[in-house]
């Protein structure tokens, strides 16, 4: 799966720059309020990312330990019709550092509920940053979602 949207190329070296990109991009018209860096259980941060933004599914696949793990509430939306595709940078690489951006509802709920999910990826080869997927999400607990990255 190629990057979803094509603004002028942005390059960076850190998760902070991916967060800044997602903030300026404001996918779906929603600026993320919270962010989570995607890290495998083995500690690896350079990962394959598979997603199906029509289904609201994002999966990390570790090239080191070979574990695949649905992120956030993705497991709840995986079924026979889900077709996650592997993200690929325009340079041809499919290994990324990933940051999930979450736009929250602006109400008094505690914990706040999620309104929109954005998947920001930084290519580990050329350092290009892009939003590869975004979707509406109604998960009621932002802290729970972030814990499941």
Query: What end-to-end distance do the CA atoms of the chain give, in Å?
Result: 20
Confirm whether 3 is domain-assigned. Answer: no
Number of domains the chain is built from: 1
Confirm whether 1 is domain-assigned. Answer: no
Confirm whether 4 is domain-assigned. Answer: no
The pLDDT value given to residue 111 = 82
The pLDDT value given to residue 8 = 81
The pLDDT value given to residue 107 = 82
Confirm whether 68 is domain-assigned. Answer: yes
Nearest-angstrom CA–CA distance, 70 and 93 = 21
Confirm whether 79 is domain-assigned. Answer: yes
Confirm whether 67 is domain-assigned. Answer: yes
What's the angle, vertex CA 70, arms to CA 3 and CA 108, rounded to 5? 90
Q: What is the pTM of this model?
A: 0.93
User: Does residue 6 register a pLDDT over 70?
Assistant: no
The pLDDT value given to residue 5 = 56
The pLDDT value given to residue 3 = 58
Model pLDDT for residues 94-127, shown as the tens digit of each residue? 999 999 999 999 887 788 899 999 999 999 999 9
Contact 20, 29 (CB under 8 A): no
Average pLDDT in the chain: 94
Domain that holds residue 55: 10-147
Confirm whether 73 is domain-assigned. Answer: yes
Confirm whether 55 is domain-assigned. Answer: yes
Q: Residues 2, 6, 10, 15: what is their CA dihedral angle, to the nearest 10 degrees? A: -50
């Amino acid at each position: 799966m190629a990057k979803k949207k094509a603004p002028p190329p942005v390059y960076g070296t850190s998760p902070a720059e991916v967060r800044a990109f997602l903030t300026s991009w404001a996918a779906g018209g929603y600026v993320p309020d919270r962010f989570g860096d995607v890290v495998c259980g083995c500690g690896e941060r350079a990962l394959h990312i598979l997603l199906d933004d029509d289904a609201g599914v994002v999966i990390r696949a570790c090239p080191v330990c070979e574990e695949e793990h649905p992120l956030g509430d993705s497991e709840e939306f995986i079924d026979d019709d889900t077709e996650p595709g592997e993200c690929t940078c325009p340079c041809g690489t499919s290994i990324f550092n990933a940051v999930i951006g979450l736009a929250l509802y602006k109400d008094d709920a505690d914990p706040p509920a999620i309104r929109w999910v954005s998947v920001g990826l930084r290519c580990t080869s050329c350092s290009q940053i892009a939003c590869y997927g975004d979707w509406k999400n109604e998960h009621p607990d932002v802290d729970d979602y972030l814990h499941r990255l």
